[in-house]
Amino acid sequence: MILKGRKVAKGTAEGDALVSREGISFYGGVDPETGIVGEKGHQLEGKSVSGKVLVFPTGKGSTVGSYVIYDMSKRGTAPAAIVNKEIETIIAVGAIISGVPCVDRIDIEKIKNGDRIRVDGDKGTVENV
């Protein structure tokens, strides 16, 4: 399966998909030191995004979330890549400044938890490997 979307942040990465059907806020929703989702009641609460291809519909929350993604990249706790249905500015800026490959306009319903995924932010593609 190869899904074609829009290029957001350059680079390529491969990893296991961690899928949420809910939006994610990196500011207050994800612990930058551990990469664990801490937002109470969130579908991914208690799960680590570190090294995963993080698949979710869109971001939410404070603009500080961009810096949290950057901080996570420096700590080694960031996602390997980000795939969105429809990106918003906070996630886009965070991915770009952090060097986390990112693609949006993807039918995320076709991606399941644990799928091995390659994201190519230069081509705007997401594929199973």
Strands 12-19 and 116-120: antiparallel
Cα angle value 60/32/26 (rounded, 5°): 0
From CA 104, how far away is CA 14, in angstroms rounded? Answer: 16
Annotated active-site positions, please? Answer: 62
Strands 116-120 and 125-128: antiparallel
Residue 75's SS3 state is helix
10 Å CB burial of residue 14 (0-12, 13-18, 19+) is middle
